[in-house]
Amino acid sequence: MLQSHKRLGGRTVSVDVGSAAVTQIADAVARGQCLLFLGAGIHGAPPEDSSYVYTEADRPPLGSTLSERLAEECDLVTIYPNENTKNLQRTSLFYETMRSRRQLVQEIEAVVQAGKKPSPVLRGLAELGFTLLITTNYDQLLERALRDVGREPRVTVYSPDSTRPTEQYLDDPTSAQPFVFKIHGDIGTPESVVITDEDYIQFVLRMRDQKPYYPVPEIFRFQLERWTTLFVGYSLVDYNLRLLFKTLRWGVDRANIPDAYSVDCHPDPLVVEVFENQQKYLKFIVQDAWTFVPELYRAVTGKEMPDYRD
């Protein structure tokens, strides 16, 4: 297997980038035994040399850009001149405090949903027949991408309410009716969106709740111990994403967890050292999504991924 090497503290750490990883993931996808996590990076711009097109007008902004938009809308630097306008958790908390929760979510919806389209990589993944999908994205582009290829997702949204039992599905999801869990909420449910500092605190508290109030549907926790897991659109240098990853594994024997992969073209060497080399949580595939997803699509279907130009 091909590997990329980085230096960390005088020693070399290796990062999995080989085709064998794609083959293993493709096999799990074909067997219907791969749990897909999707992050905001799934909406990132394609590389300049890519044959795929995804214009800025069609793309939801990534976190720092969204934060700057919120900061500008509520004149954050006028009141707090030294504030970091790229810190989405603090900027959104300020916006909510100065205006309201409803206005905050309405502004997010206007930026991440209105007039936006699923990226070609998201549409390619939607075609592959994943039955269980978790997303931290607030927008509804994943659901749209699935419906565009004839799949009707069943969607459950995180709730901050610790007195409300979590919605479960008793029958098994299928490729035609995949189960989507929006773990950081949905723009259609303002109270569900996990974006401010306070939202993240409540989210962590909720992750310690017991059944039937544990906020993640049981089938996802069950299959995390049995299926291959694939993360696309994430950079695990983000503290909140690592926190999410670890809270989902509380109480789970890591020796019983199948392989997990994170697609990241620039993985942080320290995170690689801790997550891959020391704790053996996952393996890193050093590619951008615009390279990896077409390769996975080809490995699963035997065809080239379309460019999806409407």
C-alpha 128/C-alpha 32 separation (Å) is: 9
pLDDT band at 286 (very low <50, low <70, confident <90, very high): very high
Angle separating helix axes 88-98 and 197-206, nearest 10 degrees: 110
- Report CA-CA distances (Å) from 56 to 17, 53, 80, 105, 116: 29, 10, 30, 21, 9
pLDDT for the residue 293: 97
Residue 271 pLDDT more than 80? yes
Whole-number percent of the chain with pLDDT over 90: 71
Burial (CB count <10 Å: 0-12, 13-18, 19+), residue 250: exposed
Residue 180 pLDDT more than 50? yes
Widest pairwise Cα distance in the chain: 56
Contacts of 127 (CB under 8 A, 6+ apart): 149, 297, 301
- Report CA-CA distances (Å) from 195 to 63, 104, 149, 156, 191: 10, 10, 30, 18, 10
pLDDT for the residue 87: 94
Backbone dihedral angles phi then psi of residue 84, each to the nearest 5 degrees: -80, 110
Q: Name the pTM for this structure.
A: 0.90
CB 43 within 8 A of CB 233: yes
Residues 205-225: pLDDT tens digits? Answer: 998 899 899 999 999 988 988
- Select the more confidently predicted residue: 10 or 141: 141
Burial (CB count <10 Å: 0-12, 13-18, 19+), residue 102: exposed
Residue 253 pLDDT more than 90? no
pLDDT for the residue 188: 94
Radius of gyration of the chain (CA): 19
C-alpha 292/C-alpha 287 separation (Å) is: 6
HSE-up of 176 (CA within 13 Å, CB side)? 0
Domain ranges in the chain with CATH number 3.40.50.1220: 3-53+118-301
Quote the mean pLDDT of the chain.
89
Q: What are the start-end ranges of the H helices in the chain? A: 19-30, 63-73, 76-79, 88-98, 101-112, 120-127, 141-148, 197-206, 218-224, 239-247, 269-271, 289-301
* CATH tag, 3-53+118-301: 3.40.50.1220
Residue 232 pLDDT more than 70? yes
Angle separating helix axes 120-127 and 289-301, nearest 10 degrees: 20
C-alpha 178/C-alpha 4 separation (Å) is: 35
Mean pLDDT across 3-7: 43
pLDDT for the residue 7: 44
C-alpha 58/C-alpha 61 separation (Å) is: 10
pLDDT band at 3 (very low <50, low <70, confident <90, very high): very low
Mean pLDDT across 104-126: 96
Angle separating helix axes 141-148 and 120-127, nearest 10 degrees: 50
- Report CA-CA distances (Å) from 266 to 111, 269, 284, 294: 26, 9, 10, 19
Strands 228-232 and 34-38: parallel
Residue with tokens 């100065």: 98
Residue in 154, 143, 159, 235 with CA at minimum distance from that of residue 194: 159
